[in-house]
A and B are shown apart, each in its own frame.
Chain A
Amino acid sequence: MNNIEVRNLSKEYDGFLLDNVSFDVPAGAIVGLIGENGAGKTTTIKALFNIIGFKGDVKIFGKDSKVYEKEIKKDIGALFDDSFLSDYLNCKHINKIMKDFYETWDEKKYFDLLKQFDLPLNKLVKDFSSGMKMKVKIAVAMAHSPKLLILDEPTSGLDPVVRSEILDLFRKYIEEDESRSILLSTHITTDLEHISDYILFIDNGKIVLDVPTDELLEDYGVVKCSEEDFLKIKAEDYVSYKKGKYQYAVLIKNKNEFKRKYGITTIDKPSIDDIMLFYIRGEK
């Protein structure tokens, strides 16, 4: 069962094309959406909410997102890094407003989260630090216990301790109910290494990678070798390479297969950031 099914999603702007993007967000999974600025992450998220027009099919909870828009949105919690209800409200105001939007709004849960985040109730959001603002947004997104969380940069502006606390919260949210999902777009890919089940990598409007996180971290590798050794590697056996001053760094997809075929045993484990850089900046 997928909570999100996207097929051939396309959107064209001046100088940018989101090109036939297709992906799924399975129930019980956290999917990390990564990519450079302007790669199409936010455009994809906006399309999921019908904030922008698009070509293609988007199904959420198995229903057409355009036809059942209102019904679907009742079961989604959203967060945008740069957008919120208003900066001129305090947390109590927000509670009174949000309970009119969601029948399932849970005041207790909302105030418990605020307490957990140590947030003042009567201070206006505009006077909060960026980290505090983010915490309010997270509390608001989660307080009606939605089936799906769609989060755009939810950990930006947070210090490592709070980030870890938030990530635990997301993990717990999924563990509580396996029918839930999170689509999480972020620049801080180390967060995804800890919590995501799938990585969706979008580059220049196209999905270039849609794989389980474990597979990405276990099977991919970086081989550092001389030019002579590099020339022995067949093009189909690597993803891309970067030529350094003294050596080549080569991203490979299947470590074990590569070891067996080329007898090279020293293969580094790349981070998601490394893999992303190889895809974006590497040569083939």
Chain B
Amino acid sequence: MIKGLLKKDLYNLASYKVSLIIVILFCSLAMIGTDAIYWSSIVIGIIVGMISLSTFNYDEISKANKYILTLPPTRKEIVLEKYVLAICSMILGGLFGFGLTLLVGSLLNYLRPDDFVDISLDTLVSTSVGGMFGVALIQAIQIPSIFKWGAEKGRIQMFVIILFLALLISGIGFALDKMGSSLDIESLERIFNDFGLILLLLLSFLMYFISYKISYKIYKAKEV
């Protein structure tokens, strides 16, 4: 049953592919080859990772929820499918951001040896994983709110969440700066080295799990 729902969402997303490729290429060209190269893996990861949420918009446009509830998939399966898609897009986004940054960065270094940008694999892994964790966090907050309030209101909320996170990170950076430290890629890498990838994975899993439980509770009682 989940397979059918996944197919529906993937076919929907296929109509999105041209705009997605343009955005990714734009980001790649704008950021890769500059000092902000590592951020490009995060940005690309976020763009790809957040795409899955647009499937809610397609459902809303076609008022698909009412129809889907007449089909054999249960409400549990409908909610679960959205999480499977979200997690897959998060992983794909991370891998894609990592791969594209490495590929385009190396290509630019080859084409412009005078303007060589050093790409550290360790740092690239750390930033990509960091980006994936960020996507997981946004998705875990976002999906229950979309199930509750719908995609339109949910999108506004997404911007609020991103703005809040940006302000939070800036605030932490500002505080660290005042304390004589700084928030840079190296410190992010140190955090990963200290706490490890496993911890982040476990945290992501926990976030998704709690988020899924909340979403199911909301959707179980939802009348469309």
Contacts and interface: CB of A to CB of B under 8 A. Distances in A.
A69 interface: yes
Contacts of B65: 83
B66 interface: yes
A89 interface: yes
A52 B12 contact: no
A86 B69 contact: no
Given A93-B11, A97-B8, A50 B58 contact: no
A51 interface: yes
Contacts of A73: 70-72
Most chain A CB within a 10 A radius of its CB, from B3, B8, B61 = B8
A52 B63 CA distance: 15
Interface in B1-32: 1, 3-4, 7-8, 11-12, 15
Nearest to B66: A83
A51 B71 contact: no
A98 interface: yes
B43 to A, nearest CB: 26
A80 B3 contact: no
A76 B70 contact: yes
Interface in B112-133: none
A133 B162 CA distance: 38
B197 interface: no
Contacts, number: 85
B69 A89 contact: no
B67 A84 contact: yes
A83 B61 CA distance: 9
A89 B66 contact: no
A87 B61 contact: yes
B68 interface: yes
B64 A100 contact: no
Contact of B69 (A49, A101, A124): A49
A86 B58 contact: yes
Contacts of B223: 46, 51-53
A100 B67 contact: no
Interface string B39-71: 000000000000000000011011111111111
B7 A97 contact: yes
A88 B63 CA distance: 12
A97 B4 contact: yes
A30 B154 CA distance: 42
B15 A85 contact: no
Most chain B CB within a 10 A radius of its CB, from A49, A53, A82, A100 = A100
Interface in A31-85: 46, 49-53, 69-70, 73-74, 76, 78, 80, 82-85
A49 to B, nearest CB: 5
A76 B7 CA distance: 21
Contacts of B15: 88, 124
A86 B59 contact: yes
B58 A80 contact: no
Interface in B61-107: 61-74
Given A49-B70, A70-B74, A102-B72, A84 B4 contact: no
B8 A51 contact: no
A88 B64 CA distance: 11
A152 B64 CA distance: 15
Interface string A131-146: 0000000000000000
22 contacts: A49-B69, A49-B70, A52-B224, A70-B72, A73-B71, A73-B72, A80-B66, A82-B63, A82-B66, A83-B62, A83-B64, A83-B66, A84-B62, A85-B8, A86-B62, A88-B12, A88-B15, A89-B11, A93-B11, A97-B4, A100-B1, A100-B3
Q: Identify the 4 closest CB pairs spanning chains A and B, nearest first.
A: A100-B4, A78-B70, A83-B63, A83-B66
